[in-house]
Structure formats: structure tokens, C-alpha cells
Amino acid sequence: MPDIITLKALCEELKIDPREAREKLRAAIGDAKANPELAKARKPRTPWQWVKGSKACGEARKVLGKDASQG
């Protein structure tokens, strides 16, 4: 089973507020051209989580202000 990273874990790592992070992610998936993997990976009414090291996880880190190459 692949390693999963949750929004909670990502927020703790980046030292950001989860509410603010969700707002940024919602705005980012609205722009599917800029964040195609993030938009494709999002399923409504499910927790924010990604496979560690995936393109979607990298885009989430980028949106939240962290370099995508880390993690």
C-alpha cells in the first residue's frame, strides 16, 4: 500500500493553519489548467490526502507555499 500524506500532516509539516490550507486548495482546484493533477485527484466529500511523492502531492505543496521537489 502506498504511503498517504494527509492535509493535517502537511499542515503540521509546513506550519500552516488547516482552514487556510483548505481555502487555498479549493481555489487551486478551480484552476484545473494550472493544477491538473491536483484537480484530478480531488474527490468531493473525501478527506484531503495524496500519495506521497505523487504529482498531485507536489502541486498541493506548491499551492501551500512549499517547493514541490521536497517530499
pLDDT at 20 over 70: yes
Residue 61, domain member (yes or no): no
Domain count, the chain: 1
Looking at residue 9, its pLDDT comes to 96
Could you tell me if residue 2 is inside a domain? yes
Per the structure, the complete domain to which residue 34 belongs is given by 1-46
Q: What is the pLDDT of residues 29-55, one digit of tens each?
A: 999 999 999 999 999 999 999 999 999
Q: Answer for the pair 51, 28: CB distance below 8 angstroms, yes or no.
A: no
Question: Is residue 38 in a domain?
Answer: yes
Q: What is the pLDDT of residue 65?
A: 87
Residue 66 lies in a domain: no
Provide the pLDDT for residue 71.
46
Q: Are 38 and 45 in contact (CB under 8 A)?
A: no
Q: How many CA atoms lie within 13 A of 24 on its CB side?
A: 16
Identify whether 35 is part of a domain: yes
Phi and psi for 23 in degrees, rounded to 5?
-60, -45
Averaged pLDDT score across all residues of the chain: 91
In a domain, 59, yes or no: no
